[in-house]
Structure 1
Amino acid sequence: MRILFLHDNFPAQFGALGKYLVHEGWEVWFGTQRKGASFPGFNVFTYSPHRAVTKSVHPYAANYERAVLAGQAAARAGLALKKKGFMPDIVMAHSGWGPGLFVKDIWPDTAYIGYFEWYYSAQAPDVAYLAGTGRDADDDLRARARNAAILMDLAHCDGAVCPTEFQKAQFPSCFQEKLEVFHDGIDTDYYRPASGVRLRLGALDLSHTDKVITYVARGMEPYRGFPAFMKALERVLKEEPEAHAVIVGEDRVAYGKQLPAGESYKQKALKDCNLDWERVHFTGLLSRGDYLKVLQSSAVHAYLTIPFVLSWSMMEAMSAGCALVASNVAPVREVLSEGEALLVDHRNTNKIADEIIGLLRSPELRARLGANARKKILEGYAAKTLYLLKRDWLEKMAASASPGRAKKFH
């Protein structure tokens, strides 16, 4: 079997699955905009849009033009490979960014699988949750237009994958039958508990305390509850003098609106929050190994989010046996239930503080929640189980997309 993954980033959602398929004897190709990308067993090539988005393009159309430019670049790279005889059985592309827009024009008999994360709408749960935060009619209209590339993919893909039921539910009902819910899977052998771990990361040495509060996100923004977490820390650190907070992520906005140029939510927290900054540690991005150490040393892990795409970090923390204080929103409740974490309305920073302090003072409850959280991941989200199911499904998609080649798959 020969599969081609397309994603502007690398390896993103496809790296671990691709690694598994290589182990299963598949020929794995990966097209990306990430220069210098490589991975053992992968055949990697890059594509690059020949120009930037038109400066004067209508704001509602900017994301679509960006997607078309990416799709055109990926198509040109694909056509060059086709001239050399390259014919994939399956192409799987991340939808919305454009690289898969023209797959069926290049390889009509190839199974095209779209990976769908989110459908934008003025009525979407993330928008409703942040109501009253300065959104206007232009934002709503731009959101609808942002779906143009996603809808093109939905219309012509042979199969569609969505990571969670919550994410699937955001798509128009007429497309939901086409969407198969397959989580990306968590490496439960790697993200596992380890007793007695005390955190040491280079110059950061917290081996003197077992009261480490952890927070992980790509960026620092309201979508992932960063301002609320920092405000809650005021009480937590005041009432728990041995506690330290470790914050993993970059000083940027990954989701949601940017602040005015030169401002960031981290800078606002440094200015507005009354904290003992010697006990608040920003690590930036970490290697996978150091990230695991953070999770394994965590006494309490805070995962705060508005109703939006669920983060891998929450489920990796569960797999590592962390005791979680998490937002009481639909995507979290799909995975976490009573007895597996403490769920809070993270707009209530006092309640966040209450739950973190309570867990810091209750080792027995922490151990029980952590064990139950890991059990949930092992039973429903372990990569080694999901990858087998996904492989079988991909083979069926390939056979149905090209009946003339169906014998190849049996």
Structure 2
Amino acid sequence: MRILFLHSNFPAQFRHLAVTLAQNPRHQVVFGTTRKEGQLPGVAKAIYAPSRQARPETHHYVRPLENAVLQGQAVYRLCEQLKAQGFIPDVVYGHSGWGPTFFIKDSFPKAKLLCYFEWFYHAHGSDADFDPAEPLNADDEARIRIKNAPILIDLYSCDRGFSPTHWQQQQFPPEYRDKITVHHDGIDTKFFQPKPGHKLVLPRLNLNLSHVEELVTYVARGMEPYRGFPQLMETIALLQEKRPHCHAVIVGENRIAYGKSLPDGKTYKDVMLEKFSLDLNRVHFTGLLPYPDYLQVLQASSVHIYLTRPFVLSWSMLEALSTACLVVASNTAPVTEVIQDGVNGLLTDFFSPQAIAERVEEVLNHPNGMAALRVQARKTILERYDLSQLLTQHIQWIEQANTL
């Protein structure tokens, strides 16, 4: 089978799939991407580049669609080059929403088109209107509706779709859900393993917390309201008042990955550090970490905080569970598909730092009494999200598409 993966941010969700398929001599794997950095064994990279970005004069509702069309055009040109080199895929598997899959049915009409559907946007009932302090106006509602245009084109064009959780699949229009298989990518449970008694020492960052008995951890791509960063910082402030030996490690970049930036150019980290008088000797910002260092953070965690609006579920929460972290998480729809309160983690009110801090203290006050939740956390991942099982099923799903 010849398969073409498409994702602007190589290798993203397709890392394990591409590598495993490439190990089979019956398969030829090409990965189309805009990212020049990085390689995968046995996988041929093919670089595409949009000719320009959406023009400033384009209506702001339509700029994402214009950028998607430009991505699609760049991929179309890439496909013409691949055909000239003799590569005609049996299956094309791309991430929906940014446009690379737009013209695949024109480039390769006999190929099966598979799309990874991560999110369908709604003005009401999920992420956009979750915070009552940020009411939507008519302009927001219209912009969000048009934002789905690239995804709707893919829903129509694709032969099969894939969504990692039931919550995410349920965001898509009912008339298209039959096309979308719910199947998580999988967590590498052999890598994300617990290490009881581990203490955090990261020489690269000159960070030595080997003396710390109470370590609160938090992981996100950015520092933003979508992932509860303001609530986290207030929670840390409350914990510092009561627990003089409690430290916090925050993994992620000082940027906005999801949602709106602040109008004055400040970051949420700046704002929260100005708002709260924190002992910064006990708050450690690591930035993004390589996987071995990130694993050490999870393995040393006394309690891990995960907060999210009703939005895409983060891999980091599942990786924390796999590492047998005691996760205190927001009682929101994507989380409750995985965590049962008091069974494999603890749930709390997204908007209440006081409630979050109280749940964290439950754990810190009873470090041995929560052992059963840690065991059940890892068991949840082993039974439902283990990469070694799900990867095989995912590959079978791709191969079955080729026979449709």
- TM bracket, shorter-chain basis: over 0.9
**Aligned partners of 1:48, 1:124: CA distance in 2, in Å?**
36
1:45 is paired with a residue of what secondary structure?
strand
Q: In the alignment, what sits opposite 2:118? A: 117
Cα shift at 1:143: 0.6
| Matched-pair contact (CA < 8 Å) for 2:250–2:286 | yes
CA distance in 1, matches of 2:20, 2:243: 44
Deviations 1:44-75 (A, max 9, x none): 01100011211100111100000000010011
Q: Taking every aligned residue pair, what percent have the same amino acid on both sides?
A: 48
- After TM superposition, give the deviation of residue 23 of structure 1 in Å: 3.1
* Residue 151 of structure 1: how far off its partner (Å): 0.5
Give matches, 1:8-27, under 5 Å. Answer: 8-25=8-25, 26-27=27-28
Deviation of 1:134 (Å): 4.5
Q: Which of these residues, 356, 359, 363, is aligned with residue 359 of structure 1? A: 363
Q: Cα deviation per residue 1:300-323 (whole Å; 9 max; x = unaligned)? A: 000001110000000000001100
Question: What's the RMSD between the two structures over aligned residues?
Answer: 1.1
- Which stretch of structure 1 is more off in the superposition, 258-267 or 160-169? 258-267
Contact 1:210 1:297 in 2 (8 A): no
1:131-146 pair list within 5 angstroms: 131-146=132-147
User: Which of 306, 313, 325 is residue 316 of structure 2 equivalent to?
Assistant: 313
**Equivalent residue in structure 1 for 2:276, among 273, 277, 280:** 273
Q: Specify the alignment match of 1:36 in structure 2.
A: 37
CA shift, 1:261, in A, is 4.3
Match runs of 1:2-401 below 5 Å: 2-25=2-25, 26-202=27-203, 203-338=206-341, 339-400=343-404
Shift of 1:237: 1.6
CA distance in 2, matches of 1:391, 1:8: 21
Comparing 294-303 and 115-124, the one that deviates more: 115-124
2:164–2:185 CA contact under 8 A, matched in 1 = yes
In the alignment, the residues of structure 2 paired with residue 298 and residue 9 of structure 1 have an alpha-carbon distance, to the nearest angstrom, of: 30
* 1:24 CA drift (Å): 3.9
How far did 1:246 drift?
0.1
- CA displacement 1:13-59 (0-9 Å, x = unmatched): 11122122223443221111112332222100110001121110011
Give the distance between the partners of 1:394 and 1:283, measured in 2 at CA.
38
Aligned partners of 1:372, 1:11: CA distance in 2, in Å?
31
- The answer to whether the 8 Å contact 1:211/1:360 transfers is yes
- Deviation per CA, 1:50-101: give whole Å up to 9, x if none: 1121110011110000000001001101111112211112110000001111
Separation of aligned partners in 2, 1:63 and 1:164? 25
- TM-score, scaled relative to structure 2: 0.97
SS of 2:51's equivalent in the other structure is: coil
Distance 2:14 2:289 in 1: 20
Amino acid at match of 1:343: L
What CA distance in whole angstroms lies between the structure 2 residues aligned with 1:277 and 1:135? Answer: 36
Indicate if the aligned counterparts of 1:5 and 1:29 stay in contact, CA closer than 8 A.
yes
Shift of 1:279: 0.2
1:235-261 alpha-carbon deviations (Å, 9 max, x no partner) = 212211111000000000111111124
Long gaps (5+) in structure 1: 401-410
CA distance in structure 2 between the partners assigned to 1:308 and 1:398 by the alignment: 31
Q: What amino acid does structure 2 have at the position aligned with 1:178?
A: K
Give secondary structure in 2 for the equivalent of 1:125.
coil
What is the TM-score when the length of structure 1 is the normalising length? 0.96
SS of the aligned residue for 2:61 comes to: helix
Q: Distance in 2 between matches of 1:36 and 1:351?
A: 43
- Whichever residue aligns with residue 93 of structure 1, its letter is G
How far 1:375 moved relative to its partner? Answer: 0.2
Question: What secondary structure, in the 3-state scheme, does the structure 2 residue paired with 1:138 have?
Answer: helix
- Provide the C-alpha distance between the structure 2 equivalents of 1:21 and 1:241, rounded to a whole number of angstroms: 51
Counterpart of 2:374 in structure 1: which amino acid?
A: G
Equivalent pairs, count: 400
Query: Which stretches of structure 1, 4 residues or longer, exceed 6 Å deviation after superposition?
Result: none
Conserved 8 A contact 1:240-1:357 = no
Amino acid at match of 1:305: T
Q: Which amino acid aligns with 2:239?
A: V
Distance in 2 between residues matched to 1:183 and 1:40, nearest whole Å = 23
Give distance in 2, aligned partners of 1:294 and 1:41.
32
The structural deviation recorded for 1:208 is 0.2
Given that 1:213 and 1:301 are in contact with CA atoms closer than 8 Å, whether structure 2 keeps it comes out as: yes
- Whether the 8 Å CA contact 1:188–1:382 is kept in 2: the answer is yes
How many angstroms apart in 2 are the aligned matches of 1:284 and 1:198? 19
Q: Do the aligned partners of 1:299 and 1:366 also contact (CA within 8 Å) in 2? A: no
Amino acid at match of 2:209: L
Amino acid at match of 2:397: W
